[in-house]
């Protein structure tokens, strides 16, 4: 059992499989082909390439003055993802579903200490997956989890890594205790993050400290407003990061609140479309040494929002898997 003081990894049990899986005569769904960690034995899961885990927490966003609800994204995703068709484009054979990380019991007063505890558990799970030769795909939770993901990959590979993030906010706030606004500050300071690229920042939603911090980190950063002025710049920015880091160990981040009207911790009516998010993910999945995918911050509050979040996340994950498999043999 993987656990920390307040959190645990919940491997999929029969009850989950009953809730998650859909079948239809004459069709094979991805859920019928994936491996579930609970039935994989102690080592069997390590044979798979892709490792999906959910993080059911919204403590990081709430400590960063954001809305709650990012603990609900994984449930919205998993049933819809496992229901997609297994076909010539994606069979599902290379995927292991690890379940999700959640609180052991509810917490009345949240604090940065709880985020530290979550950091510990996320980083050991990621490290275990990467040491087994796998690629972690982390769904839901706050952007605070970027720090332990970067740490886990970096420690497994014994080197700092590069990260690209498409996000209205740079998440390089002051190191004032861990929350969803400062994962990249901590990762950089602790030597796990070597090169940070953040695309599509919203000019009016990053304070001057954050912008100065990006300069200090020697980060590559671009603004959403420049895409409004010249639409080709969206693709140009993606291509620039791709070309610069083609042979680097590279983590891929997409904050779901970058997508206009996406139910999320920092909702915005202005932003990229789901299709643009797909273009970004598809391109980055073909990087030579892409080492993880992180899709945090979606926060559905009702059935309609669950549908939007679940299907959007499903498109992004299937795009990543298909493009990765196309470019890596």
Question: Both ends of the chain: CA-CA distance in Å?
Answer: 32
pLDDT of residue 41: 76
Calpha distance 41→52 (Å, rounded): 17
Residue 270 pLDDT greater than 90, yes or no: yes
Residue 15 pLDDT greater than 80, yes or no: yes
Q: Where are the domains of the chain?
A: 7-327
Instruction: Give strand pairing partners of 51.
Output: 96, 136
Mean pLDDT of 225-238: 98
Cα torsion 170, 283, 278, 255 to 10°: value is -20
Residue 184 main-chain phi, psi, to 5 deg: -80, -25
Residue 329 pLDDT greater than 90, yes or no: no
CATH topology (fold) of 7-327: 3.40.800
Which stretches of the chain are DSSP H helices? 14-20, 59-63, 73-82, 112-131, 146-157, 183-189, 208-216, 224-229, 232-244, 274-285, 303-327
Residue 1 pLDDT greater than 90, yes or no: no
Q: pLDDT tens digits for 124-165?
A: 999 999 999 999 999 999 999 999 999 999 999 999 999 999
pLDDT of residue 244: 98
Q: What is the DSSP letter of 11?
A: -
Q: pLDDT tens digits for 75-116?
A: 999 999 999 999 999 999 999 999 999 999 999 899 999 999
pLDDT of residue 62: 96
Calpha distance 316→310 (Å, rounded): 10
Q: pLDDT tens digits for 206-223?
A: 999 999 999 999 999 999
Angstrom CA distances, 116 to 7, 177, 265, stand at 11, 9, 20
Mean pLDDT of 47-70: 97
pLDDT of residue 209: 97
pLDDT of residue 39: 74
């Amino acid at each position: 059992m993987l656990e920390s003081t307040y959190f645990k990894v919940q491997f999929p049990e029969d009850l989950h499989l009953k809730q998650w899986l859909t079948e239809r005569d004459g069709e094979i769904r991805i859920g019928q082909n994936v491996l579930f960690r609970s039935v994989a034995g102690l080592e069997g899961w390590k044979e798979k390439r892709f490792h999906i885990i959910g993080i059911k927490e919204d403590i990081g966003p709430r400590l960063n003055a954001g809305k709650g609800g990012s603990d609900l994204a994984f449930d919205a995703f998993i049933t819809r993802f496992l229901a997609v068709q297994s076909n010539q484009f994606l069979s599902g054979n290379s995927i292991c579903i690890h379940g999700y990380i959640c609180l052991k019991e509810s917490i009345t007063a949240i604090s940065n200490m709880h985020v530290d505890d979550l950091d510990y558990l996320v980083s050991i799970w990621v490290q275990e997956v990467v040491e087994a030769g796998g690629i972690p795909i982390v769904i839901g939770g706050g952007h605070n989890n970027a720090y332990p993901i970067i740490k886990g990959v970096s420690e497994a590979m014994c080197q700092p890594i590069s990260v690209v993030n498409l996000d209205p906010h740079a998440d390089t706030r002051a190191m004032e205790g861990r929350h969803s606004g400062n994962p990249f500050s901590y990762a950089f300071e602790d030597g796990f993050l070597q090169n940070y690229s953040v695309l599509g920042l919203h000019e009016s939603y990053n304070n001057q400290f954050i912008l100065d911090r990006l300069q200090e980190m020697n980060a590559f950063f671009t603004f959403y407003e420049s895409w409004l002025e010249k639409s080709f710049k969206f693709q140009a920015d993606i291509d620039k990061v791709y070309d610069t880091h083609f042979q680097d160990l590279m983590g891929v981040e997409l904050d779901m609140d970058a997508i206009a009207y996406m139910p999320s911790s920092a909702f915005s009516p202005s932003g990229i479309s789901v299709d643009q998010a797909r273009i970004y993910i598809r391109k980055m999945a073909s990087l030579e040494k892409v080492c993880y995918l992180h899709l945090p911050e979606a926060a559905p509050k009702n059935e309609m929002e669950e549908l939007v979040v679940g299907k959007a996340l499903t498109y992004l994950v299937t795009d990543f898997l298909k493009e990765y498999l196309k470019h890596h043999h």
